[in-house]
Amino acid sequence: MTAIARTRTPRRPPSRYLRRWSGPVAWTAVVWIAAIAFFLPVLWMVLTAFKPESSAYSYPPRFTFSPTLAEFRAVFSRGIGPYLENSIFATVGSTIIVLALALPAAYALSVRPVAKWRDSLFFLISTKMLPIVAAIVPIYIVARDIHLLDNIYALVLLYGAMNLPIAVWMLRSFMLEVPSETLEAARIDGANLRQEIGRVITPIIAPGIAATALICVIFAWNEFFLAVNLTSTVAATVPVFLVGFITSEGLFWAQLSAAATVASVPIILIGWIAQRQLVRGLSMGALK
Amino acid sequence: MTVAEQQIARLPQRARPARDARGGRQRWVRRLPLLPALIYMIVITQIPFLVTLWYSLQNWNLLSSAKAKFTGLSNYGSVFTNSSYRSSLLVSVEMTAAAVIVSMLLAVALALLLNQKVLGRGIARTLLITPFLVMPVASALLWKTTMLDPTYGLVNWLLSPFGVNHVAWLSSHPLGSIVVVLIWRWTPFMTLIVLAGLQGQPLDVLEAARVDGAGPVMIFRRMTFPHLRPYIELGTLLGSIYIVNTFDEVYSMTSGGPGSITTNMPYYLYEQAFQAYNIGGAAALGVITVILTMIIATFALRLIAGVFRFEEAIT
């Protein structure tokens, strides 16, 4: 738009400034209106979390109020602590498993590929496309029979399987960017497989590994379906704590918002940090 | 030398000595790093599906003390004759189609806007992608309460200048409300994918078209859109695969109600398995759902293969 305007300006000198600036200003306005519209529910969540309960229920909605941390304290005294611990354990544990398995696998699918690497890659991604609801019945019954119901390790293992394909695809796309001369040099110097992955490739793609880990953290932290069906009291995670509000939400909007803020803000920050790599994760490494 | 190797040695391929014991070992050394990941995925994802297939052929209810009984395809028969299953299928299709189409249209518009020289573009993009990062259960619960509440909800207040007066969105437009929340959550995802496509557009070619006098509409129709097509398709298919599985919003906002207006396939299956404990029936539903998803997924896989070859050609 701007460039078009510029090519036409010589013919219409009076409107030159108008044309040059009206485009960008209009676009800026539209972009910001859209961005704020999408962000508004999140902003409202954070604002409501700092309100006293009585201000949360007011019409018209209140934008000014004296902020209080009372609802956050209420959330912790309601017992979000163990749920947070479970969520952190399931998220960190599954991400460690994912990285430990995905790094060598990505290596075997990119740097020194196995014979049918394409088939393996597509097998991995196809598992991601199968609906988890379809597998929940046997997962539930097997977990029950091997005493993994309401056990956080069940979630660790399942979240690992949920994120492993994404991690392999992402790490593979980062490994393809490692210059082959570097790898040649390492091999000539006599590096074995473990040294090649650990000492040569890993340091080069460290930012990529970090981004992959962050993506896995986002998905594991936000997962609800498996958590609600496989855990009850001991191993329940934060989303399960939140749906506990469904029975009583009529009275506790500010508290619900505070709990939702505690549950979401860490992941929002991580997502903001990893946003440049987000698209690579979402498209399984197909896009950069 | 083993017998097998002697036989191989006698074959005409003798000219290729690489296929000796060392070559085989080499291949296994190459495969070794891949094996743990593959085995892990097969054990955790493939075996449950096979077991689902087996359960789907049995009459098995966890509430009754009777043992599981092999009943052949009768569960499938009852799924297909059951009107609640058909209605949940329809709800899934409606929900997914509406959310995917609107999200994608918005995403193309937003991506085109974000690709302009805009003040504070980075911050605007950051705000825009945030809905995708919020815990879905948290956002669904807050949409249900602080946003869509008939009396105190922010949405009714924002719409009040337009003559909207304390609408009870979740009881008067339950499916529409869920679709709006899905659009809010998935538009950022699709925008990022379309934006990645836009930023991969060769600028010199666009500049050349401009110099040749092509207008913005012409450039979009003839150049940008064809270039974006694979990305739009990819976003649509990945979005469909994810949105078909929507569970969190239905569970937290409506529990499938009122009645069964918002009961989609995943939620119906959940009800069958965890409220009716009808294991056989839920398994049959699961198998059918897998088959339906596989149909979409086949297209998605083909597309990803295409995009991914294309990226490979660039690097």
Nearest C-alpha in A relative to B160: A60
**Of A72, A105, A131, at which residue does a domain stop?**
A72
Q: What is the pLDDT of residue A251?
A: 66
CB contact under 8 A, B127 and A36: yes
User: Which residues of chain A does B252 touch, with a Cβ-Cβ cutoff of 8 Å?
Assistant: 242-243, 246
Whether residue B297 lies within 8 A of chain A, CB to CB, comes out as yes
**Of A72, A89, A117, at which residue does a domain stop?**
A72
Q: Is A111 a member of any domain?
A: yes
Q: If you write DSSP's letter for every residue of A169-203 in order, what string do you get?
A: HHHHHHHTTS-HHHHHHHHHTT--HHHIIIIIIHH
Nearest C-alpha in B relative to A142: B48
Q: What is the pLDDT of residue B313?
A: 52
Q: Is A288 a member of any domain?
A: no
Could you report the per-residue pLDDT of B160-207, keeping only the tens digit for each?
A: 888 888 888 888 899 999 999 999 999 999 998 898 888 878 888 888
Q: How far is residue A262 CA from its own chain's centroid?
A: 16
**A200 and A262 share a domain?**
yes
CB contact under 8 A, A158 and B118: no
CA B266/CA A224 separation, integer angstroms: 13
Q: Is A230 a member of any domain?
A: yes
Could you report the per-residue pLDDT of A167-211, keeping only the tens digit for each?
A: 998 898 888 888 888 888 888 888 887 888 888 888 888 888 998
Residue B142 has pLDDT above 70, yes or no: yes
Q: What is the pLDDT of residue A41?
A: 94
List alpha helices for B275-314, DSSP H.
Answer: 279-314
The tokens of A6 are what? 């510029």
Q: What is the pLDDT of residue B8?
A: 42
User: What's A97's domain CATH number?
Assistant: 1.10.3720.10
Q: What is the pLDDT of residue A38?
A: 95
**Do the Cβ atoms of A103 and A197 come closer than 8 Å?**
yes
More confident residue, A192 or A49: A49
**A254 and A180 share a domain?**
yes
Q: Is A63 a member of any domain?
A: yes
Least confident of B91-95, B157-161, B279-283: B279-283
Q: What is the pLDDT of residue A220?
A: 94
**A84 and A172 share a domain?**
yes
Tell me the pLDDT band of A40, cut-offs 50, 70 and 90: very high
**A22 and A109 share a domain?**
no
Whole-model pTM: value is: 0.84
Residue A9 has pLDDT above 50, yes or no: no
Domain count across chain A: 2
Interface list for B 111-170 with A (CB within 8 A): 113-114, 116-121, 123-139, 141-147, 151-152, 154, 157
ipTM above 0.90, yes or no: no
User: Which residues of chain B does A45 touch, with a Cβ-Cβ cutoff of 8 Å?
Assistant: 134, 138-139, 142, 146
User: Which residues of chain B does A242 touch, with a Cβ-Cβ cutoff of 8 Å?
Assistant: 135, 137-138, 141, 252
Nearest to B129 among A193, A222, A278 (CB): A278
Q: What is the pLDDT of residue A15?
A: 54
Q: Is A287 a member of any domain?
A: no
More confident residue, B32 or A262: A262
**A44 and A108 share a domain?**
no
Q: Give all domains of chain B, ordered by start, each with its CATH number.
A: 82-277 (1.10.3720.10)
Residue B64 has pLDDT above 50, yes or no: yes
Residue A8 has pLDDT above 50, yes or no: no
CB contact under 8 A, A120 and B38: yes
The highest-confidence range among A161-170, B38-47, B102-111, by mean pLDDT, is B102-111
CB contact under 8 A, A135 and B216: no
Q: What are phi and psi of B166, to 5 degrees?
A: 45, 60
CB contact under 8 A, B304 and A249: no
Residue B226 has pLDDT above 60, yes or no: yes
**Do the Cβ atoms of A269 and A214 come closer than 8 Å?**
no
**Of A72, A92, A124, at which residue does a domain stop?**
A72
The tokens of A124 are what? 């991995």
Q: What is the pLDDT of residue B216?
A: 82
Kindly report the nearest CA distance between residue A149 and chain B, in angstroms.
14
Kindly report the nearest CA distance between residue A251 and chain B, in angstroms.
10
**A268 and A125 share a domain?**
yes
**A104 and A59 share a domain?**
no
Residues near B254 by beta carbon (within 8 Å), at least 6 away in sequence: B170, B174, B177, B178, B261, B262
Q: What is the pLDDT of residue B240?
A: 86
**A50 and A84 share a domain?**
no
What domain range includes position A34? 2-72
Residue A109 has pLDDT above 50, yes or no: yes
CB contact under 8 A, B126 and A272: yes
